[in-house]
A and B are shown apart, each in its own frame.
Chain A
């Protein structure tokens, strides 16, 4: 890990007013507003709220945070860091990738955990029953989400092969669709039609398969409260993170960072 890269990546994330506004609105104003509204009206939390306070929320926040933080300006001209110059310094490419990953994970995880804590505190102050282990699990999960999603995003941003990027973005959208389909499909089913139900089922199972493959979930609460410990979700998560980082390092090592090279 390189402390200089980490320090300046954190500064870059914190000193861009547009990014801060986006993170503030999507990460805090919207979910907190929704929580307060649902508490006052006695309604249950909506699907959108669940998304914004879970893995999707982390993904959206990190998507913006990652822009400009890792390899956005490999060759020229977008007001970002200039990788050819950085790689002439005594910094290994693995050091670069791992330092970026760690700091983006910490920033994304901290923001998402903070949001979860605020939301939980609002619920608690209005009478919801919230245990310490539930809050602890949420915090650990958000950091784990951030670690996984930032590794996937760094890989996508540093590997400039168009075919790879198309597959990565498509996989991300299918995964995202799986998280947003339920409310849409319910509306669609009420309008009737077997086709809609079959299509939704197919979409959900495809999305579930891709989600398990590319962004495996670890339910930390289940993991710590169960009597029979199952390591497979944890291993699946760790192998995904390791693979993303290993591929990101390998493709960065292989890539030529210079004028005119992709």
Chain B
């Protein structure tokens, strides 16, 4: 593993299906640092799962590059450091939970002498009832299989974990287990990329989130304390003399202060600001332009709002 290289470096990735007729990824670029927990959100069919397929070198991109810890994704040394939880997995029904993990421990090329201990640890970590460890997988429920799927990720001791809908089919206890597993991975310095529709989980667990739409990254947000670090500044102003030119005045103030104007009405507006400095700058500009400000209230932004906003943008196109 190259210690200085980013965990994941994706450059101008393109992928099409059906002879180039369906564009799944359209020039995606991003970097994930080592030890970072990175989320992927976006509507169905946005290209998130295809992106994971390319990161795992299971799909061959049309162009662009994927480097994991500084090496091409299809290197065997990269596979030793990568783990994957598929969204739709399949299991050999004749196997027991323990045998399934034995199989993956062997495939991961890990030391046989630690196999039993590693398997027990992983099964305990995902809190799979001990009585089920030696039962055939055909008797497992959907939630139990998903826990086993997570255990399969852990058994390979990955440095980069790719989780595609990890909480799918899990009950609330199972969701807590996944949350704890990801927290443990963070403590151990494991990098994780999580594709999920559970926005609250993504908010809770991720350091950054990429919103993907129509094969492109629409935005990448940094998250702190469960909310996006960018926030909305709600500004109310009194009836003023600028009626005719209010819109253009507010727009100019926003542009000069490098903030985004989300909504503008005759007596209030909403702006997306990066930090307090940007908010102060915006207010100064508004006052300078003659907008009589009455109050300014910061509103923390949630992923759900971003998702709804981006979806709205999509439908307006």
Contact = CB atoms under 8 A, between A and B. Distances in A.
Q: Do A and B come from one complex?
A: yes
A7 B115 CA distance: 15
Q: Which residue of A7, A16, A259, A260 has the most chain B CB atoms within 10 A of its CB atom?
A: A259
19 contacts: A12-B92, A12-B94, A73-B90, A76-B88, A77-B88, A79-B93, A85-B84, A85-B152, A88-B56, A88-B84, A89-B79, A89-B108, A90-B77, A91-B107, A256-B60, A258-B53, A258-B58, A259-B49, A259-B88
B51 to A, nearest CB: 11
A255 to B, nearest CB: 10
Contacts of B39: none
Given A82-B86, A82-B91, A85-B152, A92 B76 contact: yes
Contacts of B156: 89
Given A85-B89, A256-B58, 7 more contacts: A4-B103, A11-B94, A77-B90, A79-B92, A79-B93, A90-B109, A258-B58
Nearest to B53: A258
Q: Which residue of A15, A77, A84, A92 has the most chain B CB atoms within 10 A of its CB atom?
A: A84
Interface residues of A, number: 33
A81 interface: yes
B59 interface: yes
A3 interface: yes
A84 B86 contact: yes
Interface of B: 17, 49, 53, 56, 58-60, 76-77, 79-80, 82-84, 86-94, 99, 103-104, 106-109, 138, 152, 156
Contacts, number: 82
A37 B291 CA distance: 106
A7 B17 CA distance: 36
Contact of A90 (B53, B76, B92): B76
Contacts of A41: none
Interface of A: 2-5, 7-8, 11-12, 15-16, 73, 76-82, 84-92, 256-261
Q: Which residue of A15, A73, A89 has the most chain B CB atoms within 10 A of its CB atom?
A: A89
Closest 7 CB pairs of A and B: A4-B106, A89-B107, A82-B90, A90-B79, A79-B93, A258-B53, A88-B84
